[in-house]
Amino acid sequence: MHPNIVEIGPFVIHWYGLLLSLSFLLGIYLSMARAEKRGVNKDAMMDLAIVVVLCAVIGARFQYVVTHIEEFQGHWLDVLNPVQSDGTVGIGGLSMLGGVLLSIVGILVFSRIKKLPLLVLGDIVSPAFGLGIGLTRIGCFMVGCCFGKACGLPWGVVFPPNSIPAAIPELAGQPIHPTQLYSSLYGWIIFTALMLLDRKRRFPGFILAVFFMMYGVARFLVDFVRYYNDSLFTFLDQTWTINQAICLGMFIVGLIMLILLPRRLSTT
C-alpha cells in the first residue's frame, strides 16, 4: 500500500486524488467526443461535465457522512471543511455509489433545464462512469480504503500495519479480499462492453440501461465480500448492505428500460 506518490514537506500528491482527477478529465474528454458524434453541442456537454463532477463529489461525500454520522458528531464542519479538526488537510471519506446516483439526478435536471434529450445524454456519459470506476478504485487500493473481508483464496492481500484494514482487529495481518481491484476490474469491463455495444446504433437509452444493469449486478456481488461495520440490514435471513439494495433498484430500472423503451419508440 502506497497512498502517496510524492511527499515533499507539506506538499503531497495522493494516488487517490490523482486517479480521481484523471478519471474526471478523461471522462469529460470521452463524453465530449461522443457528444459530437450524436450532434449534441460541445458547450452544453462542458456545462454538463461541470454539473456531473460537482454532483459526483457532493453525492459521494453525502452518502459517506450519512452512513458514518458518528464520525462527525461534535465537529460538523469536517463535513465540508478541507482543514479537518484533527489538523489533516483534505476531505477524506467518499462513497462512490452516492456520487453515481447524484450525478444521474444532475443529468436529469440538466436535461430538463437545457431541453436536451435525457436518454441520449445518459448514453453519452455512461461509459465515462465505467472508466471512472476502473481508475478510481485503483486509488482506493493504494490508499487501503474500501477493503474486503478475510479471504482464504490465493489472491488475498495482506495490508501493512499502518493501513486502514490493519486497524480492524480481526483483519490485522490477515489476507483479505482486494475488493478495490474487483471493483476496478468490473469498471473496466463495463467501460469496454458499453463502448463495444455502442458501435451499433440502438434505441436511445440502451447504453444507459445496460450500465444500470451491469453496475447494479457487479457492485451487488462485490458487496458480499466487502467489509462493512455498519450500513447493514437483515432480509430473508441474509445480511445485506444498503448499497446492495440501491444496486438492486438500479438493475430493476435498467431492465424496465430495456423492456419498455423499444415499445415506447415503436409507437411514436
Residue 5 lies in a domain: no
pLDDT of 123 reads 94
Length of the chain: 268
Residue 4 lies in a domain: no
pLDDT of 97 reads 76
pLDDT of 259 reads 93
pLDDT of 161 reads 87
Tell me the pLDDT tens digit for each residue of 6-30.
666 556 667 777 888 899 899 989 9
Tell me the pLDDT tens digit for each residue of 232-252.
556 656 678 888 988 999 999
Residue 67 lies in a domain: yes
Domain that holds residue 103: 12-266
Tell me the pLDDT tens digit for each residue of 164-190.
888 888 898 899 999 999 999 999 999
Residue 7 lies in a domain: no
pLDDT of 234 reads 61
Residue 110 lies in a domain: yes
pLDDT of 166 reads 87
Q: Which residues of the chain have pLDDT under 70?
A: 1, 3-13, 67-94, 230-238, 265-268
Count the domains in the chain: 1
Contact by Cβ (8 Å): 148, 228: no
Residue 3 lies in a domain: no
**Block residue for cell numbers 436511445:** 204
